[in-house]
Amino acid sequence: MSSTMVENGVTMVADRAADALRERIASRDAICGVVGLGYVGLPLAVELARAGYRVIGFDVSEAVVANLSAGRSHVQDVSDQTVSELVAAGLLSATTDTTRLGECDAISICVPTPLSKTRDPDVSYVVSAAEAVGRALRPGQLVILESTTYPGTTRDLMLPILERGQLRVGEDFFLCFSPERTDPGNPTWHVKNTPKVLGGITATCLEMGLALYGAAIDHLVPVGSTEAAELTKLLENTFRAVNIALVNEMAQVADRLNVDIWEVIEAAASKPFGFMKFTPGPGIGGHCIPLDPYYLVWKMKTLSYKTRLIELAGEVNSEMPRYVVEKVRDALNGHRKALNGSRVLLLGVAYKRDVDDTRESPALDVLRLLAEKGAEVAYHDPHVPEVREDGVVWRSVPLTEEVLRDADCVVITTDHAAVDYERVVRCARVVVDSRNATKGIAADNIVGLSGARTAPVEAGAGAGRTTA
pLDDT reported for residue 6: 43
Q: Give pLDDT tens digits along the chain (468 positions).
A: 343 434 444 455 568 889 999 999 999 999 999 999 999 999 999 999 999 999 999 999 999 999 999 999 999 999 999 999 999 999 999 999 999 999 999 999 999 999 887 888 999 999 999 999 999 999 999 999 999 999 999 999 999 999 998 899 999 999 999 999 988 889 999 999 999 999 999 999 999 999 999 999 999 999 999 999 999 999 999 999 999 999 999 999 999 999 999 999 999 999 999 999 999 999 999 888 889 999 999 999 999 999 999 999 999 999 999 999 999 999 999 999 999 999 999 999 999 999 999 999 999 999 999 999 999 999 999 999 999 887 889 999 999 999 999 999 999 999 999 999 999 999 999 999 999 999 999 999 999 998 766 655 554 444 333 333
**d(Cα 64, Cα 87) in Å, to the nearest integer?**
14
Do residues 375 and 339 lie in contact, with contact meaning Cβ atoms separated by under 8 Å? yes
Do residues 320 and 248 lie in contact, with contact meaning Cβ atoms separated by under 8 Å? yes
Helix axes 362-372, 320-333, angle to 10 degrees: 50
pLDDT reported for residue 466: 34
Matching fold, domains 10-224 and 241-459? yes
pLDDT reported for residue 457: 54
Do residues 265 and 419 lie in contact, with contact meaning Cβ atoms separated by under 8 Å? no
| Concatenated DSSP letters of 309-350 | HHHHHHHHHHTHHHHHHHHHHHHHHTTT--STT-EEEEE--S
Which residue from 417, 410, 468, 409 is spatially nearest to 443, judged by alpha carbons?
468
**d(Cα 228, Cα 177) in Å, to the nearest integer?**
9
pLDDT reported for residue 120: 87
- Give the DSSP H/E element, type plus range, for residue 440: none
- The hierarchical CATH code for the domain 10-224 is 3.40.50.720
| Strands 92-95 vs 54-58: parallel, antiparallel or unpaired | parallel
| Concatenated DSSP letters of 251-285 | HHHHHHHT--HHHHHHHHHT-SSS-------S---
pLDDT reported for residue 1: 36
Cβ within 8 Å of residue 256, ≥6 positions away: 451
- Residue 52 carries which DSSP code? T
Which residue from 295, 305, 350, 337 is spatially nearest to 112, judged by alpha carbons?
295
Which residue from 116, 109, 149, 123 is spatially nearest to 292, judged by alpha carbons?
149
Told to judge if 104 belongs to the known catalytic residues of this protein, a careful annotator would answer: no
**d(Cα 124, Cα 153) in Å, to the nearest integer?**
12
List the domain boundaries for the chain. 10-224, 241-459
CATH topology of domain 241-459: Rossmann fold (3.40.50)
Positive or negative CA dihedral for 196, 199, 200, 206? positive
DSSP reduced 3-state for 8: coil
Angstrom CA distances, 271 to 12, 268, 275, 456, 460, stand at 60, 6, 7, 18, 17
Verdict on whether the full-model pTM lies above 0.85: yes
- The catalytic position among 104, 176, 205, 288 is 288
Residue type, 284: I
- Residue 101 carries which DSSP code? G
